[in-house]
């Protein structure tokens, strides 16, 4: 049974009027992926779904990525094929429209898994990706307000302060996008993000870390969202897939993975979407919101939820 699921990030959407735009965004993305999936390729489906999310400034990936502490965009993305364990990722990349497509090129055109920073940008240019500025006015305005709030005591900021800021202003955790698809032969997972608002320059989250925020093998695939440091420490995407390997359904595995995050790091920090090698879908979160859309055989319209 072929199937695809996408997410638009876990966290809190403070402005309720944004919710319909978010739900429409994940709906459009899953339909873009479904179109490719019906042609037979989970890999193409995941890339196209994530590109749709990256191109939508509502989400924190590609166009509309959040800004670092020094006001720049540094994006991460990864994709992984479950059948072959091939994977490609970019970290801290800038000046491209669709980081997920660059990550796919890393997987297909190099012997490496992860390229970062200036090297990732040079590789993107070599592969023909044009220079592109993903910064939006809305993100710049948010950056100015949040940075002023963070620095108003005149001290050097630390992650402890950023964590406190997230509690007070949950929109700081404007998170990741991702997709997982099964084409009847293999599961493919992909993830893309602009990171966390006001992150330290050079900070890399879980998204491009294979096993942390993105993972797929012969049993299942997973894409995580939330505070990246949590996913890295728990190797959460791989842990979720292992739960399927040990006999849990995709839904129960998703719930078990999020319970790990909650047990070790409290709530409001993680979400995950999954598909197993039978086409079963699963998703779970410990945040107030996580926009999700999915399609599978027999459905006429996508499910959307938040």
Residues forming the active site: 176
**Alpha carbon distance 291, 180 (integer Å):** 14
Annotated ligand binding at 92? The verdict is: no
Annotated ligand binding at 204? The verdict is: yes
E strand intervals along the chain: 3-11, 75-81, 87-93, 114-116, 177-182, 187-193, 214-216, 220-226, 270-276, 281-285, 289-296, 303-305
Annotated ligand binding at 88? The verdict is: no
Work out the number of other CB atoms within 10 angstroms of the CB of residue 110: 12
**Alpha carbon distance 155, 289 (integer Å):** 32
206 closest CA partner among 73, 76, 93: 76
The structure tokens listed for 114 are: 């992860």
Annotated ligand binding at 202? The verdict is: no
Annotated ligand binding at 225? The verdict is: yes
- Burial label for 41, CB within 10 Å (0-12, 13-18, 19+), is middle
Annotated ligand binding at 247? The verdict is: no
The structure tokens listed for 216 are: 């797929």
Would you list the DSSP string of 138-204? HHHHHHHHHHHHHHTT-SPP-HHHHHHHHHH-GGG----EEEEEE-SS-EEEEEEE---TTPPTT--
**Alpha carbon distance 113, 106 (integer Å):** 7
Annotated ligand binding at 205? The verdict is: yes
Annotated ligand binding at 190? The verdict is: no
Q: What residue has token string 């873009």?
A: 32
Write out the binding residues for substrate.
Answer: 203-206, 225-228
Write out the binding residues.
Answer: 203-206, 225-228
């Amino acid at each position: 049974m072929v199937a695809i699921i996408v997410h638009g990030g876990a966290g809190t959407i403070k402005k309720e009027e944004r919710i319909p735009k978010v739900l429409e965004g994940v709906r459009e993305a899953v339909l873009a992926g479904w179109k490719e999936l019906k042609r037979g390729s989970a890999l193409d489906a995941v890339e196209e779904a994530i590109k749709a999310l990256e191109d939508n400034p509502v989400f924190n990936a590609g166009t509309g990525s959040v800004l670092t502490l020094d006001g720049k965009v540094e994006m991460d993305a990864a994709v992984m094929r479950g059948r072959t364990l091939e994977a490609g990722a970019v970290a801290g990349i800038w000046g491209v429209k669709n980081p997920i497509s660059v990550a796919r090129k890393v997987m297909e055109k190099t012997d490496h898994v992860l390229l970062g920073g200036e090297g990732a940008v040079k590789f993107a240019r070599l592969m023909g990706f044009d220079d592109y500025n993903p910064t939006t006015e809305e993100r710049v305005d948010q950056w100015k307000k949040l940075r002023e709030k963070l620095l108003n005591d005149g001290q050097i900021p630390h992650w402890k302060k950023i964590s406190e800021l997230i509690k007070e202003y949950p929109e700081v955790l404007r998170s990741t996008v991702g997709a997982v698809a099964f084409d009847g032969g293999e599961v493919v997972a992909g993830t893309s993000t602009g990171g966390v608002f006001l992150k330290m320059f050079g900070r890399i989250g879980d998204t491009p870390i294979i096993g942390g925020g993105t993972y797929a093998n012969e049993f299942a695939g997973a894409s995580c969202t939330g505070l990246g440091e949590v996913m890295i420490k728990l190797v959460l995407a791989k842990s979720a897939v292992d739960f399927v390997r040990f006999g849990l359904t995709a839904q129960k595995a998703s719930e078990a993975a999020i319970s790990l995050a909650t047990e070790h790091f409290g709530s409001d920090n993680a979400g995950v979407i999954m598909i197993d090698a039978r086409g079963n879908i699963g998703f779970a979160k410990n945040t107030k919101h996580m926009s999700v859309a999915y399609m599978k055989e027999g459905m006429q319209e996508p499910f959307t939820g938040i």
